[in-house]
Structure 1
């Protein structure tokens, strides 16, 4: 398109801006802050995922260069495998319940230690709130393997702390109850361990978000007669909604994996595969059976479930008004 010339022979300012030459500063800025991160993302994120998709369409054994291409045969085999479908079901169960339980508990605790104190005077948390923060965050600094080993001892049917306490309280029927050895309780017991390990971290995350809400907002709600529950529902949750969404997604991703916790608590997948998750099945398929192509297909399925989960969370947040600003 021809450049429009002004009556005096000049060129419009917009055209001059379009024709402005790239300087070294601009080129170097784009290379460092745009080009370099893009290259790193392509090399370390997109490229491995693309390779995994390709390997999932081969019968690669993992220890040689022989990779016969078999198309979608691995995916057909997966969805005809009853044990794999059980692992998918268990992973979905964890993704549904773990984020809900963890986020709710963390939000309740964060509210108590920040604004759950006396309803008179200055807005503050419960007495000794600092101590509660340290105690609740402590499990997060313990490695997941250690947490699994500790709780494995607590759940021990013969000498575990849990059965000892319950027996001391009069529940004699639970004297030797195998919490991780019964298909009815193995998944619930495993979920308790994961929640215990992460509730403190997300509590600290929500505490930081709540601290960013002006105290005048809570003062106004108190003057209007709003109770603690009403204040949490109408003020706290809407104002830290983005933090809740982020926490929910991260906890959901962890729940879909859960490899370390499940492997330590029940390395074989629990009674009747009741605690078997996709990552456990993937690991055993690759390194115990030497079927790396099939294991890559499991990894692709797990990645797809993770993307679907994150997409659903964003969609629900948008449909429920998360994209709109909170009314003053």
Structure 2
């Protein structure tokens, strides 16, 4: 009987695992292999060069800038995005005033706010980047026009043209475009928490802040941890690439002030014709991503709470 069960499990998992190995694991193995070659990406001919690409990586100032920016994305974006999402979700679900017949409720208009926060998720990240590129235009953009309208005509930053501001402008776009997803995610988690917990805490004199840190946060911790890892991967991967590629000059400028690792991979492969070096940067990006996920899972580990 046991033999038949294990045979069924192996037969059921064989096809998915084979597809995963072919389309996920094998490309990683190929990338690591090509990082030890001089492949240009345009010719089938290449030769092994050992650790030359990795030695070049250590002396590449642009790589170190891109690594710094990617790490900043991975550290700042999850903190801001998840912090805002938790606040909005808490207010939507349990942050309202006491009402007749409902001790615990969200703020008025909470259904509308859910739709409004989630709306950016409906838009393609490319469309979002283009919209904000127009908004950041220093001459005719909506932001500087609004500053003029309120009497701040002397305050006209270059936004994406300023090396000190460009990276933060890109981060703001990513926060705006992703916070709605986590609001809905955390709202679903908060809706599953029994209202009795909140009502008992309020009867005991607990404030809204206390209920958030003593009830909501502990019971949502697994969801928050997963969201943190997911947001970090987004910040290190395709989302940051799309926004930087579309919005910034260069792209990645001015003066490499917005270059991130995934963009540098693309530029090395398709602009510079150095596919082997691009895979080397990709291997470094893989290490950074795995390290980030491992650190978050390790620091966020705690005893599971059930209710």
- For Structure 1 versus Structure 2, the TM-score category normalised by the shorter chain is over 0.9
Is 1:160 the equivalent of 2:141?
Answer: yes
TM (norm. structure 2) is: 0.95
Structure 1, unmatched stretches of 5+, are: 1-19
Structure 2, unmatched stretches of 5+, are: none
- State the alpha-carbon separation in 2 of the partners of residues 143 and 70 from structure 1: 41
- State the alpha-carbon separation in 2 of the partners of residues 292 and 242 from structure 1: 39
- State the alpha-carbon separation in 2 of the partners of residues 155 and 125 from structure 1: 34
Picking from 224, 232, 254, the partner of 1:271 is 254
TM (norm. structure 1) is: 0.89
- State the alpha-carbon separation in 1 of the partners of residues 191 and 207 from structure 2: 19
1:146-181, Cα deviation, whole Å (9 max, x unpaired): 000000000001100000111111212224x21000
- Once the two structures are overlaid, the 10-residue window that deviates more, 40-49 or 154-163, is 40-49
Q: How does 1:1-328 map to 2 (within 5 A)?
A: 22-23=3-4, 27-32=7-12, 34-119=13-98, 121-175=102-156, 177-257=157-237, 258-268=240-250, 269-318=252-301, 322=302, 324-326=303-305
Q: CA deviation at 1:267?
A: 4.6
- State the alpha-carbon separation in 1 of the partners of residues 124 and 19 from structure 2: 29
- Secondary structure at 2:160 match in 1: coil
- State the alpha-carbon separation in 2 of the partners of residues 270 and 203 from structure 1: 32
- State the alpha-carbon separation in 2 of the partners of residues 200 and 148 from structure 1: 16
- State the alpha-carbon separation in 2 of the partners of residues 81 and 21 from structure 1: 57
